[in-house]
Chains A and B, each alone.
Chain A
Amino acid sequence: MLRLPEFNYIQPRTLREATKVLADLAPNAMLVAGGTDVYPKMKRGQFAPRHLVSLRGLRELKGIRQTKDGLWIGAGESLTAVSRHRVIAKRLPALAHAAESVSTPQLRNMGTIGGNVLVDTRCNYYDQTFFWRQAVGFCMKKDGQICLVAPGSEKCLAIASSDTAPVLVSLGADVILVSKQGERRVKLEELYRDDGIDYCAKSQDEVLKGLLIPKEALGLRNVYLKLRRRGSFDFPILGVAATMDLDNQGECRHARVVLTAVASAPKVVAEAATLLQGKKITKELIETVADAAAKISHPLDNADLDYWYRKRMAKVFTLRALAQLAGLELVA
């Protein structure tokens, strides 16, 4: 079988200790939470950290609770805990569903929400063993110079593949980042960059402490639709997260659509807000938004199923997500 390479395992007891160790070892160290992404990648030689700094057992990263600002979710909470939490299951079914759709029960018990929002981008040329990558010729994401999917591309086009990220972005979540220097709070969407290698704007010595979902978001209609071959354990090859708020007259007060697996970062479909807000939702309107969603989707030949198909589904899924939130019947 594939074996783990040698590494140092460091288990800090407090968040402060963790940030200190991280600052000291920074370029050669990597954080590990559930390890469901980190360990398999170490076996395949995609990650080769000298030191792993474990976040397991850090109390500061735990807890899911309502505060005066909204809903706090500790980065160290497991996906199982997130999907089963009472408030989340009731008010944020999109998030519960996204968390519940990650991989298998075993991996959801180990995998954390922090690890999920920061999970590596994916590509069929990259998510392979060392033998395979060597045989095909290394690509720039690891060990090589060029992109094998789009040889002309200056940057890596690996796919943003987190299930919870698009939902959290659609809910307007903030993240709390802690380093030796202190704490900062930023919008989650600002954390992402459309670059398959440098996909995350968090600096190396920062720990993601938790997520804050604003109070208003708890009142939004929300949904997450995930495209994949098997309902049992596949990564998304398209994810559509949508939130919406309608007033008593059925006029749209808020609408947001966020896509995943169509680029290297979750993509906000701006037209959802500009076209829908202040209007009564009609089939024609959401079709326009759905077209816009397909337009900004750039799937490539580096994931399961044909890319033209995935692009086409960006439209169908956006249409279905919005129709579902607006309570519209879509008769073909």
Chain B
Amino acid sequence: MTRKKTLSVIGKPLRKVDAMAKCAGETVYADDLNLPRTIYAKLLRSPHPHARILGINAARALKLDGVFAVLTGEDLPQKFGIMPSTEDEEALAVDKVRYAGDPVAAVAAASETLAEKALGYIDVEYEVLKPILSIEEALASTEESQRIHTWNRRANVQKAVSLEFGDVEGGFAGSDHIFEGTYFYQGNTHLPMEQYCAVGFYGPDDKLTLWSSTQTPHYLHRALAKVLKLPASRIRVIATPVGGGFGGKSDPFSHEICVAKLSMITRRPVKITLSREETFYVHRGRHPVKMWAKTGVKSDGTIQAMQYKTFLDGGGYSSYGLASVYYTGALQTVTYKVPAYKFEGVRVFTNKPACGPKRGHGTPQPRFAEEIQMDEIAENLDIDPLELRLKQLVEANSVTINGLQISSCGLRECIEKVAERAEWKKKFRKLPFGHGIGFAASAYITGAGLPIYWNNMPHSGVQIKLDRSGGVTIFCGSSDIGQGSDSILVYAIAEEFGIDPADIRVVSADTDLTPVDLGSYSSRGTIMTGNATIQACGKLKPLLLEAASEALEVPADDLEFADGQVRSASLPSRGISFAECVVKAEGKHGTLGATGSYWPPKNPREFKGSGVGPTPAYTFSTAIVELHCDSETGEIKIDKVWIAHDCGKAFNPLLVEGQTEGSVYMALGEALMEEQIFRKNGLHKIPSILEYKSPTTLETPEIETILVETIDPEGPYGAKEAGQGPLLPVVPAVSNAVFDAIGVRIHEIPITPDKILRALEGRLKAVSIPQFEFPAPLKWQPGEGVKVEQKS
């Protein structure tokens, strides 16, 4: 097959395909949809974090003029949830509420104001139960009566896992120094600019259409079929452009199911837009995690063994929790050579909004612990923290002790480059008191290796249609959440066919029209949809080349797709336009279209829980943070962040830089101020965008992004992820920089000014770790001779 040596589109800083509409305010988000005869829904939410529902009476609400329907739990009793083995959510609480904000009823009315008013006419009788609000309380509440859910084995323990790889005991025994520490990573939320919104319409054709701001239309499609008890073939889910997701729009949600059901009853389009406050209640954000980390090293700093215990505060429902708990132990081994590794993790239920995946899903927390501990090891052994890492980096084409297969690896280059740009050697431990610099490194996945529900179908599918005009349309289930997944499809086609991106149309995230893509989560988009697109183009190329070869009388193997033409590579003046070529090919072969699919490589491991961690390719990031810390006020000012990211190949460097900067920004918010916190009565403390402190552009420092390209064999054109990984090193780098500035270690985030003062006065308590008996570990060794298949 002809394959161009140089790339003409990939690697260019092109404008995103949807950029102009967004800048002009013309993007049609879910809340901008206005179908004729639309009515409006509102959810009645529980004021109690934990209560039994003794009775609900909606009669008074139904009598109001303009109220069309009211739903309660018994109308939608089917449980659902994103992970098939932990489906424990109800669209509306059936007999129990599990957090303050848990929906108990839904109203559809002629206006939003009326729907809101009607909520006040629904009478709910509760029997208030004692809420469980912390990890410690959850673990201590072992009695049946204290259970939040009944399906799980141990009261209020959703999942406890224990895995052991290699000779951990021997590793610690053979170590010259052992480092132990406890850490706390506070929970925080995604805070997307666009609040949740969905429109449901059950049409006269007895088909349901749901428009929603969702990252996972396919999983939502399945959940709707299940809960509404409709054949999936009669449901169409359309993901509208998502105004920020970050993982928060990856579950099927109550409001989505309710508008669908309300439309089935009223036969009118039903719209719901959640308020900012409600968005805090829906949550699914970062888990608060308490951690205990232990590392054994030789006197030269080389790691002999590593052990982690993690305690996740899951909130009221499972959501992605099963994956989250495994993720808090999955990737610690992917940056440095760790010959023996043990991980124990537990996720508990508490009466708070459910946690779920937020950018980095379960990995920023242990990475925070790991990178601070590395800094402490370096400090103690008097080794430069970068040197400590450089002497034991994982290598390309290697397998970690927990069986993860690393293909490309640009970690060394990331460390060296970021150090050089930040002038690390000149600054580290040399800046005056109050001024500091800190470093951290990390690794992340490029797409989960396994789907969320077991199946052997592709993870991503595309369909391409060639038009006689020379225009190309691509259909793909992926949902653009601002990261640019629509643009990726366009760039890949433009590259393959040598045509102008402007001649390509994208139809995405519509379950009626587009082949399944599992969704915008786990940084899977570019690698999976990109590969599927290249495959589909590859199927069409022979047809096009055959036609062009005949027309031009040039052998097919001398033809290339370039500059909007199919032409002779040796004699570029001999060519026909792409449109002409399509016309000829269609005349010869009939209507032109093709599909492409992508399956990630087979899971290299085989044990329970092994699905979390494997990926087609790992990315690597390093960060250096320079900051000032006022020792009288405890205030921190970030001066600059240098971030290096091994993205494989920058599909579009502008987008990769955007994702990287966005990650840094989000990480700084988590490191310094963001907290999803609750009152003693279980109510969210600060459910507003004013009081939930998140940095704005004005608080964001200068960010210098360094892209490292390693051209991964599995990635399309070598590309790996960029949307999540760069968040990880920034948070521990802030803590390490604080130590360099003022000499105190802060093992918990957010690092607020009062904590700084406490730490300076020796009053900051060490993070306490709950008592818990983990199950006996599952022991596993990567098989002898497991080798990474080398592709070229």
Give me the interface of A with B, judged by CB distance under 8 Å. Answer: 1-3, 124, 127-129, 131-132, 134-136, 227, 229-235, 304-306, 308-309, 312-313, 316, 332
- Which of B679, B690, B691, B757 contacts A136 (CB under 8 A)? B679
**Cα distance, A1 to B277, chains bound together (Å):** 9
Contact present for B277 and A316 (CB under 8 Å) = no
B693 beta carbon closer than 8 Å to chain A = yes
Q: Mark B267-285, 1 if CB is under 8 A from A, else 0.
A: 0000001011100000000
Of residues 330 through 375 on chain B, the ones whose CB sits less than 8 Å from some CB of chain A are none
Contact present for A3 and B112 (CB under 8 Å) = yes
CB distance from A269 to the nearest CB of B (A): 19
B597-605, B695-703, B719-727: which lies at the interface = B695-703
**Cα distance, A229 to B692, chains bound together (Å):** 11
Supply 13 further A-B pairs (C-beta < 8 A) apart from A234-B690, A316-B633: A1-B273, A3-B113, A127-B688, A127-B691, A132-B684, A227-B633, A229-B693, A230-B693, A230-B695, A230-B698, A230-B699, A306-B754, A316-B632
CB distance from B686 to the nearest CB of A (A): 7
Q: Mark B577-605, 1 if CB is under 8 A from A, else 0.
A: 00000000000000000000000000000
Residues of B within 8 A of A128 (CB): 687-688
Interface of A is mostly: loop
Contact present for B116 and A132 (CB under 8 Å) = no
Contact present for B100 and A2 (CB under 8 Å) = no
- Which of A132, A134, A232, A309 contacts B754 (CB under 8 A)? A309
B752 beta carbon closer than 8 Å to chain A = yes
A312-B757 contact, Cβ under 8 Å, with A135-B47, A136-B681, A232-B696: yes
- Which of B48, B273, B690, B754 contacts A305 (CB under 8 A)? B754
**Cα distance, A127 to B692, chains bound together (Å):** 13
Residues of A within 8 A of B698 (CB): 230-232
Q: Whose C-beta in chain B lies nearest to the C-beta of A309?
A: B754
Residues of B within 8 A of A233 (CB): 690, 696
Contact present for A304 and B757 (CB under 8 Å) = no
Residues of A within 8 A of B681 (CB): 135-136
B685 beta carbon closer than 8 Å to chain A = yes
Residues of B within 8 A of A332 (CB): 631-632
Contact present for B275 and A2 (CB under 8 Å) = yes
Q: Whose C-beta in chain B lies nearest to the C-beta of A231?
A: B698
**Cα distance, A134 to B683, chains bound together (Å):** 11
**Cα distance, A316 to B630, chains bound together (Å):** 11
- Which of B112, B116, B633, B696 contacts A230 (CB under 8 A)? B696
Residues of A within 8 A of B112 (CB): 1, 3
**Cα distance, A1 to B195, chains bound together (Å):** 9
B124 beta carbon closer than 8 Å to chain A = no
Q: Whose C-beta in chain B lies nearest to the C-beta of A310?
A: B754
Q: Whose C-beta in chain A lies nearest to the C-beta of B434?
A: A332
CB distance from B34 to the nearest CB of A (A): 15
Q: Whose C-beta in chain A lies nearest to the C-beta of B685?
A: A124
**Cα distance, A134 to B681, chains bound together (Å):** 12
**Cα distance, A304 to B686, chains bound together (Å):** 9
Residues of A within 8 A of B693 (CB): 229-230, 234, 304
A124-B686 contact, Cβ under 8 Å, with A304-B693, A316-B632: yes
Candidate in B195, B684, B691 with the most chain A CB atoms within 10 angstroms: B691
Q: Whose C-beta in chain B lies nearest to the C-beta of A229?
A: B693
B673 beta carbon closer than 8 Å to chain A = yes
CB distance from A140 to the nearest CB of B (A): 18
Contact present for A132 and B695 (CB under 8 Å) = no
**Cα distance, A232 to B45, chains bound together (Å):** 32
B718 beta carbon closer than 8 Å to chain A = no
**Cα distance, A316 to B631, chains bound together (Å):** 11
A135-B683 contact, Cβ under 8 Å, with A3-B113, A233-B696: yes
Closest 6 CB pairs of A and B: A135-B47, A309-B754, A232-B698, A232-B696, A306-B754, A229-B693
Residues of A within 8 A of B690 (CB): 233-235
**Cα distance, A261 to B681, chains bound together (Å):** 26
B753 beta carbon closer than 8 Å to chain A = yes
Q: Whose C-beta in chain A lies nearest to the C-beta of B700?
A: A232
Q: Whose C-beta in chain B lies nearest to the C-beta of A303?
A: B691
Contact present for B47 and A131 (CB under 8 Å) = yes
Of residues 698 through 748 on chain B, the ones whose CB sits less than 8 Å from some CB of chain A are 698-699
CB distance from B150 to the nearest CB of A (A): 25
What are some 17 contacts across the A-B interface (CB < 8 A)?
A1-B112, A1-B275, A2-B275, A124-B691, A129-B687, A131-B45, A132-B683, A132-B684, A135-B48, A135-B100, A135-B681, A229-B673, A230-B698, A232-B699, A305-B754, A308-B754, A332-B632
Contact present for B753 and A305 (CB under 8 Å) = yes
**Cα distance, A130 to B770, chains bound together (Å):** 37
**Cα distance, A90 to B113, chains bound together (Å):** 48
Q: Whose C-beta in chain B lies nearest to the C-beta of A313?
A: B633
**Cα distance, A128 to B697, chains bound together (Å):** 26
Residues of B within 8 A of A229 (CB): 673, 693
Of residues 87 through 136 on chain B, the ones whose CB sits less than 8 Å from some CB of chain A are 100, 112-113, 116
CB distance from A257 to the nearest CB of B (A): 18
Candidate in B273, B686, B688, B699 with the most chain A CB atoms within 10 angstroms: B688
Residues of A within 8 A of B695 (CB): 230, 232
Contact present for A129 and B683 (CB under 8 Å) = no
Q: Whose C-beta in chain A lies nearest to the C-beta of B44?
A: A131
Q: Whose C-beta in chain A lies nearest to the C-beta of B195?
A: A1
**Cα distance, A2 to B278, chains bound together (Å):** 11
Contact present for B757 and A309 (CB under 8 Å) = yes
- Which of A3, A136, A305 contacts B752 (CB under 8 A)? A305
**Cα distance, A64 to B719, chains bound together (Å):** 60
CB distance from A1 to the nearest CB of B (A): 6
**Cα distance, A306 to B755, chains bound together (Å):** 10
**Cα distance, A306 to B679, chains bound together (Å):** 14
Residues of A within 8 A of B116 (CB): 3
Q: Whose C-beta in chain A lies nearest to the C-beta of B116?
A: A3
Contact present for A231 and B47 (CB under 8 Å) = no
**Cα distance, A135 to B277, chains bound together (Å):** 13
Contact present for A131 and B277 (CB under 8 Å) = yes
Q: Whose C-beta in chain B lies nearest to the C-beta of A319?
A: B632
Residues of A within 8 A of B687 (CB): 128-129, 132
**Cα distance, A230 to B750, chains bound together (Å):** 14
**Cα distance, A1 to B276, chains bound together (Å):** 7
Q: Whose C-beta in chain B lies nearest to the C-beta of A227?
A: B633
